[in-house]
Amino acid sequence: MTPRDLLRDLVATPSVSGGEAEAASVLVDYFEASGRTAWTDDAGNVRAPADDGVLLTSHVDTVPGHIDVREEDGELWGRGSVDAKGPLAAMAAASVATGASFAGVVEEETTSKGARHLVADREQPEAVVNGEPSGWDAVALGYRGMLAGTYTVATESGHSSRPEPNAVQHATAWVERVQAAFDAKPTGDGGAADAPVFESVTVKPVSFDGGLAADGERVEAAVDVQFRLPPGTTAGDVQATVADCTTHGELAWTESIPPAMASPRTPVAGALRAGIRGAGGDPTHLRKTGTSDANVYADAWDCPVATYGPGDSSLDHAPDERIDLAAFDRGVEVLTTAADRLCGR
């Protein structure tokens, strides 16, 4: 099976977070057909351990949404083609070609369950390349962290003509206060609102539920919110600011992943740059405004971590998600060169 064949099979196999088993089987079959030992662990991750000079790892899961799988004008369309089955297939192919260790992890898009299990269940490798779309000629060295929480508030029910704010108003006002607090905070040489996004704390409500309770006695509201944290900002910093904004209701913190920023002078970054140059590219470095499993690995393991993968990240989660197949081929070449260097070949 060629790397492109593996990519097509993976993209054609749905694997929304929590439902990755069939796609995991595609990967296990690929490794076994190549003479490698592979299995699915207790978390659902695909494990193919070998030379731990580098662990090549990406995620098997995708966000929901159907896109007809097809090839047009040298591009493969389909959910997950960019995020992150392109990087995933490229890493699997490079692992088979070089003998480097591989892991395909689950639930990166939701809970990072797979990455959390991996760091608790295996020895630390010498280096990690985390698979996410960076473009075939770029290396991502930085990710913001993520802090998630749920704000809840309730008020007595009453006629909508009354002037007192109800729970829905309290919840919307709370979001506005929190956003204003971070917009006003200094970041670098200026306010956060004028700072580059990577250097700012951003506030994003991701779900809202509100209205009259079933018993008719209360109005209730709940807002799920995610905060993205730049390097140098801790979860405690954000929590303190939010506490100052919370005059009604309660806030429960549910998840925290610290930011990560790697040096461009690590062996893993150097090996990826060498691979890009070898494939005819001029390497660049990226800082990404989201959060990935690279944050989990960098926090748990004392080894160099960088992120790389073919694909245009502007198409992550998009209704027109697609990957350029020539760029995918170059990504396989880059990862093969990098893994050879890191494994001492």
Q: What is the DSSP letter of 290?
A: S
Structure-block tokens of residue 280: 């005819």
3-state secondary structure of 140: strand
**Half-sphere exposure in the Cβ direction for 272 (13 Å, CA):** 33
How wide is the angle at C-alpha 296 spanned by C-alphas 293 and 301, nearest 5°?
Answer: 125
Cβ-based neighbour number of residue 257 at 10 Å: 23
Backbone angles phi, psi at 110, to 5 degrees: -125, -65
Cβ-based neighbour number of residue 266 at 10 Å: 16
For 238-241, which contacts have Cβ atoms below 8 Å and span 24 or more sequence positions? Answer: 238/147, 238/201, 239/147, 241/178, 241/181, 241/182, 241/185
Distance of CA 65 to the CA centre of its chain: 17
Distance (Å, whole) CA 345 – CA 341: 6
- Please say if 61 is a catalytic residue: yes
Distance (Å, whole) CA 268 – CA 247: 47
- Please say if 156 is a catalytic residue: no
Distance (Å, whole) CA 66 – CA 59: 18
Catalytic residue among 20, 51, 61, 132: 61
Catalytic residue among 51, 83, 107, 108: 108
Is the sign of the CA dihedral 105, 106, 112, 114 positive or negative? negative
Nearest CA to 239 out of 201, 210, 206 is that of: 201
Tell me the catalytic residues. Answer: 61, 108
